[in-house]
Structure formats: C-alpha cells, structure tokens
Amino acid sequence: MKIHEYQAKDLLARHGVSVPRSRMVTKLGDVKGAAEELGGKVVVKAQIHAGGRGKGRVVEGQGKTAAMFKRLETKPRQNEGGVRGSRVGGVRLASNPERAVAEARKILGKYLVTHQTGIAGKKVQRLLIEEQVTIADEYYAAVLIDNALGQAVLIVSSEGGQAIEEVAAKNPKAIVRLPIDPHDGLPPYKAREFAKSVLKMPHATILQAGALFSGLYDAFLASDATMVEINPFVVTRENRVIAADAKVSLDDNAAFRQPFASLRDTSEEDAMDLLAEESGIGSYIKLEGNIGCMVNGAGLAMATLDTITQAGGAPANFLDIGTVNRVERVVDALRIINMDKDVKAILVNIFGGMARVDIIAEGVIAGVRELRLKQPIVLRLNGSNLEEGLALLAESGLEFITADDLGSAARKAVAAARDA
C-alpha cells in the first residue's frame, strides 16, 4: 500500500528524521495561509501515488493524459517538466504567498502525468505546501528488503535528487548497500560511521546523518513497510540534514496490526482493484492485453497468462478467484473483467477437485445475463460435478466456446479476441 509524501514525512518525523515544515491542503483557499505560516517562500507539491512528479506535466483534463504520456515516453527531453522554467511540472517554487496561490491554481484539480502514472495520469486532489530549504548537496537513502539476503538493507548514494535506476545504470559504484542485522538493528553509532566512511559527508553533519539513517530503519520496522525511501535527503547551507522528499510503501499483510485504514487514499487506487477487494477477490492485477482471465489458483493463473502469450495473445488481467463455490463470486469476477474496456474475449480456466464446476457454470450463466456480456467466453472446466456443470451450460441457451485443455482454450480465446 502506497501513502502520500506528507504522510511519509509525518511517519519519519515520529522516528527522529528531520523534515521541512509543511502543511497539506485540499482547498485553494487554504494555500495562502499555509504559505504565510511557513514564511512565504515555499514549494508547492502535488500529492499523488506516483513518482517523477517534478518531471511530470500537468494537463487540464483526463482526455489529454494519454497524449501527454506518449510524448513523455517517446521524447522525454523535449516534454518533461521541471521545478522551474517554461515546462514546470507537479513540483513548483513560490517566492511569496501570492505566487504560491497562483502555482497551486495551476495544479490542484488538474491531472498530472508522469512516467509512473500510465496513460490515465493522476488527478491532483491534495497539495503539500512546504518551506523552501537552501540546498548545498543531495543524497539518496532507502531501507528495503533484499529477498536474496532475507533481511533489510540500507541503500545510500551520493547522487541523490534523481531516479535511482538512472544512477544504477550510469554509475553503479555510486550505490552502496549495508545489510542490517535484524538482532542489532541500525544503532546510531553504526549509522554515523556509514555516513562518514561511505558518503564522506561533512563532519558537521555526521551526527544528523546517523540519526536520519537510524530513524529511517526504525520507521521501516515500526510501520511494517516494504520500502522507505528519501530521495533526496539534503545538506543545507546551514549544515542541516533534512529529508526533502519521502516515499513509503506498506505491507498490506500487516493491516491487522497497523492503522492502515487512516493512511489509505482509495481515490488514488484503481476502481477495479477496489471492487475486487470488496468482493473478496484478493488477487487482481490489470494488464495491457485484451483477453480477460478468470482462474482458480495463482499458479494456474500464471500458467494461463503464459499460455495465452505463447498462443499469440495478450492477457488483460491476472485474476485468481481462488477455491470458490459461490455463484456471487463468479458474477463479481466477471463484473470486474467487464469493467476493462480493452477486453475482447474472456477465458475461464477452472481446474481442480475442490472447484465445483456446476457452481462455476451457474455463476457464468448468471453473469452473462446480469451483465449482458457481449464478449465471446471460452470455458475450460475440470473439477467436481463436471457433467452437471456442462449440462447447465447446454441448457442455458447461451453461446459458449469450450475446450478440453489449456492450450486449446488459449488458442480459441486468442482467435475470439482477434475476430471480435
């Protein structure tokens, strides 16, 4: 689960990380007061669940986002925004409260398109009004899980303020990793030594840098995060060490013991993802193809996606309906698939003794009738009550395409999507 920058900074501040003074606003009328409270010279930042805000571009309506995304992807140097200049993006400098209002007016309620938003962009519904700091140097720091090591690692770089992927590609030696022993954690003395020996930070900043690294790990641990990133953390001209930006992703599996509900912004989430969650379908991922998939079991779903691709098609989603024996769940799954306007055909692949084919068939029939589905539906069914399920399909009077094995089902689905 992603959270906004202002929420991430609040989390870090609670663990001793120094952050700029700021206020989050949702109304244009609150911008001037926030800027005055912060001293006048502020940064106006769009709050969306996507990175690259500074290089993104703001457009008036969602109808213009796809074209802007294409321009960013094909000719980034000509189209990317910036913090200042003629092509300003979702992060803007303001020298006084009046200028802050003017800049906020250009962002709030508009759509921000970045390399990470996709063609739909993100509607800006929140702004972070933050004090400006005088930056002398920029660094990168993050704590995340290294699956190969099976433990958390601190990752730092002296080349902050740019995408870490670009740093890794251009200068991989600039990225240094420190595995964190889960028993010892990251005590301040070890963090200070790391700042001194690895980043070669100014002597006057070592204590603060050590506190930042330790606080970063403490926040990671306490919040059940999968990643806590500061890009950049800066050294100011006054030798203050401050987290100028922050990004945090939280582990959904810890929701039972974390106050995630208060941090979650469902307006930033995909409508189909939310419907899947509400329907009890925990595994739904939108893909870029045109063949909708409903499968029981994650492994089978992966195999189904691979087989569709091998047959020359492109899956539109990953949807694991699980071991379900409820008609309503099948209808809900079809409803989610049907919400995707790219879907030209639907492949239902059910396999296993615990799945009752008669209930799956009943759900598919109910879904076609209730949702008035027009897409051709390919059914590969194998499980308990198979004969009863096939009889229901035959008696329904509806047209279905059936297949005995996955390979045949995939080929038929690809052909159906092509002819639709």
How does strand 345-356 pair with strand 291-295?
parallel
Catalytic residue among 139, 140, 217, 284: 140
Q: CA–CA separation, 27 vs 364, rounded Å?
A: 46
What CA–CA distances, in Å, run from 253 to 256, 261, 273? 7, 13, 16
Element (H, E) at 141: strand 135-146
* Active-site position among 5, 103, 130, 229: 229
Q: Which helix (H) or strand (E) holds 346?
A: strand 345-356
Taking Cα atoms as reference points, which of 184, 140, 191 lies closest to residue 166? 140
Local structure of 22: helix, strand or coil? strand
What CA dihedral angle connects 69, 75, 77 and 78, to 10 degrees? Answer: -90
The set of residues, in sequence order, having a beta carbon less than 8 Å from that of 99 and lying 6+ positions away, is none
Is residue 282 exposed (0-12), middle (13-18) or buried (19+ Cβ within 10 Å)? exposed
Query: Residue 304, exposed/middle/buried by CB under 10 A (0-12, 13-18, 19+)?
Result: buried
* 140 is known as an active-site residue: yes
The two tokens of residue 283 are: 């595994």
Region at 301 (left for phi over 0; alpha for psi -120 to 50; beta for the rest): alpha
In angstroms, how far is CA 290 from the centroid of its own chain? 22
Q: How far apart are CA 280 and CA 417, in angstroms?
A: 28
Q: Residue 352 to residues 6, 18, 379: CA-CA distances in angstroms?
A: 47, 54, 14
Q: Distance between terminal CA atoms of the chain?
A: 36
Residues with catalytic function: 140, 229
